[in-house]
Amino acid sequence: MGREGKEDGGEGAKLRNDVSPSVEAPVKKAISVTVNGVPYRHEVEPRLLLVYYLREVLGLTGTHIGCDTTSCGACTVIMNGLAVKSCTVLAVQAEGATILTVEGLAKDRTLHPIQEGFWEEHGLQCGFCTPGMMLTALQILERNPEPSEEEIRHGLDGNLCRCTGYQHIVNSIRYASRKIKEEGGTAIPETAGRERR
């Protein structure tokens, strides 16, 4: 047998070659975003997902890709004050947005209370889910500064951890809740933007 397609000549080969994408050359779009307080501007393909933009264009690899199907929450970032799964947001949808990733949590070499909580309460083992866990935790605490254990667990519905069994994560979030109250601050820093209503 020769190379595939040689034998059946014209017809078969032609059909295979005819499979062309519905859009030949998609028009790139310019986006401006502020991530962890730093403004960026890039031309991106419309199909680029926000998580790939953060990781591969900006080099912020703290945001993880876990399931890639909106289930595990490893890719959670805070966009305009709202925790979102960045594997299910197009980079072009983030045009004009203010975004906080795990890299933006610590300030002046001091851990954010949620990071301190995960440190003190052993809230991680392998650490893969941790960035998403911490950013989701901030959303929980922003809406409910002193959540019960049950409220924390309900809030973590969209974040999976395969190591800890969750108990230490819950403890870490309660630690952060106490610490934020002590310091009189807000859970979500200004650099995460604000919800637009």
Partner 1 sequence: MIPAAFDYHAPASVDEALRLLRSLPDAKLLAGGHSLLPMMKLRVVSPGHVIDIGRIQALCGVREDGRALVIGAMTTHWAIESSPLVRARAPLLAECASRIGDIQVRNVGTIGGSLVHADPAADYPAAVLAVEAEMTVVGAEGRRTIRARDFFTGVLSSAVRADEILTEIRVSALPPGTGQAYLKFPHPASGFAVVGVAAVVRLRGGRCEDARIGVTGVGPTAYRAEAVEKALVGTTLDDRTIAAAAEHAADGVEANEDLFATPDYRAHLARVFTKRAVRAALERAGRA
Give the footprint of partner 1 on this chain (CB under 8 A). Answer: 21-23, 26-27, 29, 45-47, 49, 68-71, 73, 76, 82-85, 88-90, 92-93, 95, 136, 139-140, 155, 157-159, 197
Could you tell me which of 96, 102, 94 has the C-alpha nearest to residue 48? 94
Vertex 135 angle, CA 65 and 97, to 5°: 85
Closest contact distance (angstroms) between CB of 133 and partner 1 is 12
Distance CA 110, CA 105 (A): 9
Secondary structure E strands in 69-127: 76-79, 82-85, 98-100
Nearer to partner 1, 26 or 185 (CB): 26
| Residue 31 bridge partners (DSSP) | 42
Closest contact distance (angstroms) between CB of 8 and partner 1 is 27
Residue 76 is classified by DSSP as E
Closest contact distance (angstroms) between CB of 95 and partner 1 is 7
Nearer to partner 1, 109 or 197 (CB): 197
Closest contact distance (angstroms) between CB of 110 and partner 1 is 27
